[in-house]
Structure formats: structure tokens, C-alpha cells
Amino acid sequence: MQVVSIDDFIHQSFDFLVIGGGTAGLAVASRLAQDGNFTVGVLEAGGTANGRDDVEIPGYLARSLGTELDWKFKTTPQARLGGRTVNWPRGKALGGSSAINFMTWMRGAREDYDAWEALGNPGWGWDKLLPYFKKSETFHPPSDSIREKEDLRYDLEAFGDSGPIHISYAKEYQPSNQLYFKALNSVGVPTNSAHFAGSNIGAWTNVNNIDPRTMTRSFATNYCALAGSNLHILTEAIVQDVVLDKIDDAYRASGVRFIYKGQEHVVSASREVILSAGSIKSPQILELSGIGNPEILARAGIDVKVDSPMVGENLQEHKAIHMVVEVDPELENRDDLFFDADRAAAARAQYDRDQTGPLARISSSYSFVPLATFMPQDTLERLYSQAKDLTGVSSEKKALMEQRLKDIDKIGQMEFIFALGAAPLAVTGKGFGTLFQILQYPFSVGSIHIQPTPSEKDDPVIDPRHYDGPHGEIDLEIMLESTRFGRKVLLAPSFNKIVRQLAYPPASLFTDDEDVKTWILDSTAVAYHPIGTCAMGGRAGIGGGVVDERLKVYGVKGLRVVDASIMPLHISAHIQATVYAIAEKGASMILEDAAKYSHR
């Protein structure tokens, strides 16, 4: 990996500077450097993550949360959540969140990306984005024996075969995997045989970004091998702002100001600055640079250079809750790795010996369920009527959000994941299983902005506005009905072989809808998929977003945003694979524009 010293970095002449060495940042920087004609610099706030057990070993997922690899963000107190703050982990290391996430690899529905294009962002629909999905990945098909045993179904043509990120099925599965699918089938959720090919409705065993040759996490640092000596990475560099030069009444990005070990430095980029700091840090850096809503900037004492009202707005996040059942205590589950020293030691010895066992696998039992499966018709009609009266979003975006309440059998409104284990409830002699329930298309929208007295070291103000106002009421109603459905799945007869009883929430809760809603509000967390804070504006332009369809920041030359923040509407999927596709497409567009400029 091309990590350099501060002296080497500040004395280098760069064509492109990338702010953020995370999922998107390393991908776009490496592709630009791979071209061979450009020198690329990357500024990363964290250190290196490669070689750490809590990063590389699949079974140790989540152990890096709350460590120095995590920004450890928190939201503002959320009124509808009883004043609770909510943890928002984000990766602070080379690889970014791809170094600390849960290694889930999937795509959204065709309709999700086509909606981006429908807003006036040509080239961002499913068909045009698919080649970039494939470009990022190398799929390793499972063995015939495991494919038949676990009934693994997929469309081989939908996968890539030569990208930097290695994806695979597990080599062994928990006994709950197939029982979970039988339970779903029994309540009207079919098995999906091509979940990667544009429709994720139904249930399936998912692939993960795990390299089957080593049984370790495959993440964004893999991209660096493409780049050669043209890529220069500086870690532990805290970006203050983008340097903007005023030329003929317009601004152009010429470099980046940053802090390294207490000293301020400025480096220049002759072609472009690319902001890939993620949905939380990218809008913060734009505002610190004088790009944003004049009211927000004035409150913070920052001179307005570009009046861009949507910077930091449009924050969307998947809401998550979980239900727990008591299961057969003889079943192996993740709690053993935390609370049973002998079993944990045996699992580690097995992994070190032949890369098998509990540490070599993660949960892969997924399903995406449309509204038609769990929502009463009269409730659907009422929610659609409420959605027609919503304010605060553009008419085009509102129409697309309303459509998601009409496409009741086409798109997965709710995700359900089942895994054995429930660490907070772990009790010696008992076993537990957890059903995670994740709302995919939130109607409530929040914001991320700088503090009133900001510095580059301050966390921004993160306010997702969970369940606030009429938008939030729609989310809460959907969560209520899906919680009822989740209970139905857990108590399905085909699950009786392992499930003993509902443990959390108690079964008595379900006698009163208001009690269930209160439990949802008390239990809601997030799925770590924030998007939208520097969104593509489409036909609405700067009044509807922050960047155009080529990811160029409105009102500034030589500055782009390439990360999850450019997504204008949320998708029905974990976002990791989509972020890589955004980076691949972004790099391709940057190289296209560079070639045009060079030939003038």
C-alpha cells in the first residue's frame, strides 16, 4: 500500500486530490492512478486497518465498532425516541466503513436506480450502472456440494469476475438458514433465484465480501494494488477545507488545507479535488469551505462562497429494530464467541488451522418483503393519502416516494435478517436468535450540518429526525405492520424445530398497537446506511441537490463528490456494493473529462 510520509506528500505535485481513503475514496483514487497518466493523492483521517483480527476475521465483525477505527458519531437527541441519541458508527481508517461494516454484499432493485435517473440524472439507471457494479467485484461460485445442500440460487451472469473486491458464499451454514427460508415461504415470501439481477423481492442466502481463498474480509484497500507508484496516501490527516480560488466571479477548487500532527499544510491539485468523505463528513467539509446554506454558514461565522441550500439536507437512513426468540441451547451461535471462553478459543484454533468454523462465516439469511405481503389494504390506502399531502421535498421526488407506496408487490419495503445469537440477552444455558427488521424506504428525512462554532475536529450536528412529523408517521405505521409480520415469521410452524418462544419483546405486547409503537420508538436504531446529504440535483439543479449527474459540485469548478452522499433517494439494499459502483462510475467520468480537456 502506498502510504507515504508527510514530507513526501507535501512535496508531491498532484493532478487529483481525494479527500477520504474510504470505500469510495480508495476505489476512485486507485482507478485514476491506474490510468498511468495522473498522480493522485489521498488524505485519510484515520490510520491503517489491514492485518487486524477485528477487521479481517469474519466472525469478529462488530468488534471494531467503538475503537479508534470508528468516528463514533452520535445523533442529536431525537424527540420521537424519547430524547435518545443514536450511535452512528463510520469507518475512520484506510478502507473507511468497508473496514468495519458487516460484509453484506447486495444490490438494490432496478426501480431504485431508475428512480435516480427519473429525477433527471441520465446514466444513473440500472442498465447504465450495472457494468460498474460488475467492475468492482470478483464472484467465486460455491462448490456443487454446498450449493445443493443449502439450495443456493443465483444468476451467474449478474456477477462480475475480475474486480478488486472478492465476494463469495460461505462454505458452511448454521442449521437455522434453511429453516428460516421455510418459515418465510410458509407466510407468503417466495425464494428469489436471482436476487442480484435487479429484483430483490423474496428470500435468499446472500453473498458476502469475504475472500474464500483466505476467509478474510475483502475491502477497499484491495483497490490500491491497481494503482502502482502513481498513488500517494497520507494517513492521520484531518482536512480543514477545500481551497477555493475566485477567478472571474467564479470559484475553482485548487487544493486542500489539512492538519497533520498539529501542523497545518496545504497541497494543490492541478486538475480536480474529489470529496469522498462520506455522507457525514462530506457535507461538513463543504460547509467549512464556504459552500452551503447562507444561514447555516453565517451562524458559524463562515463566509459564503457558494450559496448551495441543499448541502447537508436530504439525510436518509434505514431504521432498524430487532426481535429475539429463545432457541434450542445446543445450537451454535455467535454468543458463544463472546461469553464462552472455551468455545471461543476452540473456534479461534479451528479458524487458524483451516479457516473454517464459526469465525469463518457470518449471517447470510436475508429477505426483502414488499408491502403487499404484510400491509392491510385499508392501511395502505390511508398511508398513500397521507403521502400525497407531504411537504418539504420537490414535486418530482415526492411523486417517486408516493410511487413506492403504490408498487406494493414490486420492491422490498422491509428487510428481515435472521441470525443465531442475541448478545444483550445472553444467559448461560440458554440460546437465542435475532430477527433484524430494517425499513428500506424512509419517508422521514433529516440533515447534517456544522456546529455553530465549528472546527475541522468537531463532529457535525447529525439530526435524522426519526419518525418526526407526518413523514415519520408513515414510517412508524409501516414498522408497526412489519413488526406484526416479523412475529408471524418467528412463530411459523416450520421454525418450531429450533424456536422455543418469543423473548423480546414479550408476547403480551402485541395486544395493543400503541404499546407496539412505543416499543418500536424505544428500540429503533440505524442500519449504518446514511445517504443523500450531497445528492444529485437532477432537473431541480442546485435547488434540489449539491452535485450534477457527473458529480460536479454546483457553483464550483474542479470539485466533485464521489460517495454515498450523492444518492438522491434511498435504495432497498445495504449500500456497500452501490458505493463501489458510484466510485467506479465517478472515476470513469473523471477520466473521460480529463481526456476531453487534454485534447483541446
Contacts 24+ apart (CB under 8 A), 492-498: 492/182, 492/183, 492/184, 492/186, 492/187, 493/186, 494/179, 494/182, 494/183, 494/185, 494/186, 495/179, 495/180, 495/182, 495/183, 497/179, 497/328, 498/175, 498/176, 498/179, 498/327, 498/328, 498/331, 498/433
The cell for 515 is 404499546
Helix (H) or strand (E) holding 368: strand 365-369
The cell for 167 is 465476494
- Place 393 in a pLDDT band, splitting at 50, 70 and 90: confident
Extract the annotated binding site. 239
180, pLDDT greater than 80: yes
Tell me the residue ranges of DSSP E strands in 193-336. 202-205, 207-208, 210-211, 216-217, 231-234, 237-247, 250-260, 263-275, 291-292, 306-307, 319-327
Residue whose C-alpha cell is 408476547: 507
* Residue among 9, 96, 553 nearest 289 (CA): 553
- Place 430 in a pLDDT band, splitting at 50, 70 and 90: confident
Q: What is the DSSP letter of 542?
A: G
Q: Give the residue, 274 or 248, on which the prediction is more confident.
A: 274
The CA distances from residue 473 to 74, 249, 482, in Å, are 23, 45, 14
What local confidence, expressed as pLDDT, does residue 583 receive? 98
| C-beta of residue 598 within 8 angstroms of C-beta of residue 39 | no
Average the pLDDT over 428-437 and give the result.
Answer: 86
Which residues does residue 322 pair with via DSSP β-bridges, in sequence order?
A: 436
- Place 424 in a pLDDT band, splitting at 50, 70 and 90: low
Percent of the chain scoring above 90 in pLDDT: 82
Tell me the residue ranges of DSSP E strands in 465-573. 499-504, 525-526, 556-557, 559-561
With b for 16 or more beta-carbon neighbours within 10 A and e for fewer, the 259-280 pattern comes to bbeeeebebbbebbbbbbbbbb
Average the pLDDT over 334-338 and give the result.
Answer: 74
Give residue-wise pLDDT tens across range 26-68.
999 999 999 999 999 999 999 999 999 999 999 998 899 999 9
CB atoms under 10 Å from CB of 402, counted, come to 16
Instruction: Give 235's contacts (C-beta < 8 A, 6+ positions apart).
Output: 3, 21, 44, 46, 47, 48, 94
What local confidence, expressed as pLDDT, does residue 598 receive? 61
Average the pLDDT over 159-177 and give the result.
Answer: 94
What local confidence, expressed as pLDDT, does residue 397 receive? 86
Average the pLDDT over 229-250 and give the result.
Answer: 95
Instruction: Give 470's contacts (C-beta < 8 A, 6+ positions apart).
Output: 386, 389, 390
Q: Could you write out the DSSP letters of every residue in 57-91?
A: -GGGTTTTTTSTTB--EEPPPBGGGTTB--EE--B
What local confidence, expressed as pLDDT, does residue 221 receive? 97
Residue type, 190: P
Range of weakest confidence among 274-278, 381-385, 556-560: 381-385
Give residue-wise pLDDT tens across range 124-160.
999 999 999 999 999 999 999 999 999 999 999 999 9
Instruction: Give 554's contacts (C-beta < 8 A, 6+ positions apart).
Output: 306, 308, 537, 541, 542, 545, 546, 547, 548
Report residue 249 CA to chain centroid gap.
38
Average the pLDDT over 536-542 and give the result.
Answer: 97
The cell for 76 is 442529536
Alpha carbon distance, N-terminus to C-terminus of the chain: 35
363, pLDDT greater than 90: no
232, pLDDT greater than 80: yes
What local confidence, expressed as pLDDT, does residue 426 receive? 63
What local confidence, expressed as pLDDT, does residue 425 receive? 64
Give residue-wise pLDDT tens across range 508-527.
899 999 999 999 999 999 99
Average the pLDDT over 449-475 and give the result.
Answer: 90
Percent of the chain scoring above 70 in pLDDT: 98
What local confidence, expressed as pLDDT, does residue 395 receive? 83
219, pLDDT greater than 60: yes
* Residue among 86, 574, 568 nearest 314 (CA): 568
CA atoms within 13 A on the CB side of 247: 9
Rounded Cα gap, residues 210 and 213, in angstroms = 9
Residue type, 149: K
| C-beta of residue 274 within 8 angstroms of C-beta of residue 560 | yes
Average the pLDDT over 370-375 and give the result.
Answer: 95
The cell for 252 is 475553482
Rounded Cα gap, residues 252 and 505, in angstroms = 55
The cell for 160 is 462480475
Residue whose C-alpha cell is 500500500: 1
Extract the annotated binding site for FAD. 239
457, pLDDT greater than 90: no
Give residue-wise pLDDT tens across range 315-329.
999 999 999 999 988
- Place 174 in a pLDDT band, splitting at 50, 70 and 90: confident
- Place 402 in a pLDDT band, splitting at 50, 70 and 90: confident
User: Among all residues, which ones are annotated catalytic?
Assistant: 529, 574
The cell for 480 is 408497526
Give residue-wise pLDDT tens across range 7-22.
999 999 999 999 999 9
